[in-house]
Structure 1
Amino acid sequence: MAKQHSGPRGSRRIYVPASTGMLRGLADSGELKPAGPVHTVTASLRREYPDVDVEDLEYTAFADAGLASLPLLVGHLPRRVVISADVPDERVTEHGEGTGADFDGSVKLKRVAAIHVDDADAAVEIAEALGDPEAADLDAVEAHVLDWYAPTELQDLLATLNAGTA
């Protein structure tokens, strides 16, 4: 079985649904308090898909975080944001099913492994989904791949998003 991504021993990778406003807060304060559940590879997910590679399970948790970011975008730039971070395992409490988990505390910038943000092309589908959630075409939203940014690129990413060129 492949090893799950992790940082130091006793940590696990979580995927935090976020907005561009939350990214600004992370840049300003050096930490981010999740607005709700985070997503991770849970024991429930492993039981449900015992023969699936861990990278595919991680993608499932990541994709769930991307969808969970949609309600956070109201009043913000219509781009999904997911922050991948390696946090102490004892601060994560898994939900009974799926990829959801509660995280106790704030994610420190030094624990962020990557920042993922939709590109400008996704904004149309996301704006439509936010405008009418009942008629939202989530397949169209999910068809967009979130771009990857290193934590060291956070200030440049925010500047580009503010300029409307990303």
Structure 2
Amino acid sequence: MRVYLPCTIPALARMAAAGELGPAPLTGYAVTPALVEWYVSGDTEELEYVALTEAARASLRMLAADRSDGLDVVSRRVVVAAEVGDDTVSAGVGLEERARVRLYAPVPLSAVASVHVDDLSAVPDVDAAVGALPAADKGDDDAKFTVDGAEAHELMWYATQEIPDLLR
């Protein structure tokens, strides 16, 4: 099963050093039966894009959490795409969890298919979105618009052998 795991640049560096993304349990996003049912007209590629987008939103929240912990992190969303065994994954069931999955084992670097990262040109919009998250969560429409602005940027695709270059 292809799973999209939200990440940050510091977490990507830890993954590269450790040879795995963990520890488990991990939250990811995938094409689940609930997502297929919700998005009836979509083909597999469209459904995978929805899962990738959900992971990118979660990456935005990880950036906000790192900042609230006092870490100085670059405002770039990161998503790790990996192939994992179905036996290590359980899918969410609720409307809000239609693409969310839980992984019960760390993801080895050898299972990583690609990494998706914001281009440097997205940094100002991602930074604004991170700052707007608290107000957006309280229903502020202008803040929601700012958060949605980060999604206007497509994540760039990188092969696993390019991870060291991303971390420089």
Structure-1-length-normalised TM-score: 0.84
Gaps of 5+ in 1: 1-11, 160-166
The counterpart of 1:152, out of the listed 148, 153, 161, is: 161
The match for 1:16 is 5
**Secondary structure of residue in 1 paired with 2:167:** helix
The counterpart of 2:93, out of the listed 96, 106, 119, is: 96
Gaps of 5+ in 2: 136-142
CA distance in structure 2 between the aligned counterparts of 1:35 and 1:120, rounded to whole angstroms: 30
- How many pairs were matched up? 148
The match for 2:125 is 125
Following superposition, the deviation at residue 77 of structure 1 comes to 1.1
Task: Specify which structure has the higher proportion of helix.
Answer: 2
Structure-2-length-normalised TM-score: 0.83
Are 2:2 and 2:83, in contact at CA under 8 Å, matched by a contact in 1? Answer: yes
Please, which moves more after superposition, 145-154 or 133-142? 133-142
Correspondence 1:28-67 to 2 at 5 A: 28-33=17-22, 36-67=26-57
Identity among equivalent positions (%) equals 37
Following superposition, the deviation at residue 35 of structure 1 comes to 7.6
Cα distance per residue 1:61-93 (max 9 Å; x no partner): 000000011121133211000000000111110
Name the amino acid aligned to 1:47. E
The match for 2:79 is 82
**Secondary structure of residue in 2 paired with 1:52:** coil
Which stretches of structure 1, 4 residues or longer, exceed 4 Å deviation after superposition? none
Are 1:18 and 1:35, in contact at CA under 8 Å, matched by a contact in 2? Answer: no
